[in-house]
Structure 1
Amino acid sequence: METGIAKAIRIAGSQSALGSLLGLTPQAVQKWAAQGSVPGERCREVETLLSGQVTRYELNPAVFGEPPTSCSN
């Protein structure tokens, strides 16, 4: 299963491209990829920059938990 950070890198095009969007080095993004998640304080920024194609819940489930489910009444 693809991690949230792997999905973000794929959507951005590369680690370098994602780093550029965030004003970070490719090495910083590589560190996140090795850890398997984005630091909690950067998740919303990544989510916004990638137009919600990857969510904060995918980027760091340890911080944000499961995505909320919508209720149908």
Structure 2
Amino acid sequence: MWRFALERRGMKVSRSKTEYMCVNEREGSGTVRLQGEEVKKVQEFKYLGSTVQSNEECGKEVKKRVQAGQW
């Protein structure tokens, strides 16, 4: 349904690039499909240059920022 809303506004959803992530996932969560194809589920992704993790931890992001500050 959201795909149609986006397309009405001139946007296009790329099936090959689309991924999803669940935060604090509960057992029994289903799959996400786009035009009949299952969308890849990930445990982390980059958003505006920062790593977002499904377990709500920030260890990878903190480590990356600390390393960036080292000479």
In terms of fraction of residues, the more strand-rich structure is 2
Q: Which of the two has greater helix per residue?
A: 1
Specify if TM > 0.5. no
Higher relative contact order, chain-length normalized (CA < 8 Å, sep 6+): 1
- The structure having more radius of gyration, on CA atoms, is 2
TM-score, L = length of structure 2:
0.25
- With normalisation by structure 1, the TM-score equals 0.25
